[in-house]
Amino acid sequence: MKITEFKVDQTVYVMGDGQGQKNRFQTHEVKVIKIGRKYVTISGAWGDQFKETPESRPYLIEHTEVGMHRLLFPSSEAVHDYVEREELKTWVREAAGWSKIDRYSLDQLRAVKKILEAGA
């Protein structure tokens, strides 16, 4: 996500509470009040700033020295897609865990390999 994809007065969504993992998917609506060269500034008491991530991600990350970084999304659909992706990643990790891997047949494992290699 690039800073240039945001606009002043755009409704955006901040995810997380900046405190910990318990409320990491908690989301609320805010407005973009300023767009600079390095940061997008949102409405609120502190004028929080968000910057681009080093990798191409579907969000901006909070510029802060303290606490957990919150995430800034351009739309509610982007929030939904992110949450779904994170939940699916957790499900795949658990389904493919060492304690469960032996329950899959050779055909199932081949099918998974084919699907995963097609995306690479």
Task: State yes or no: pLDDT of 43 exceeds 80.
Answer: yes
**This prediction's pTM:** 0.82
Task: State yes or no: pLDDT of 6 exceeds 70.
Answer: yes
Res 20: pLDDT: 65
Q: How many Cα atoms occupy the beta-carbon half-sphere of 32 within 13 Å?
A: 23
Rounded Cα distance, 70 and 91, in Å: 23
Rounded Cα distance, 60 and 73, in Å: 7
pLDDT digits (tens, 9 = 90+) for 70-99: 999 999 999 999 999 999 999 999 988 888
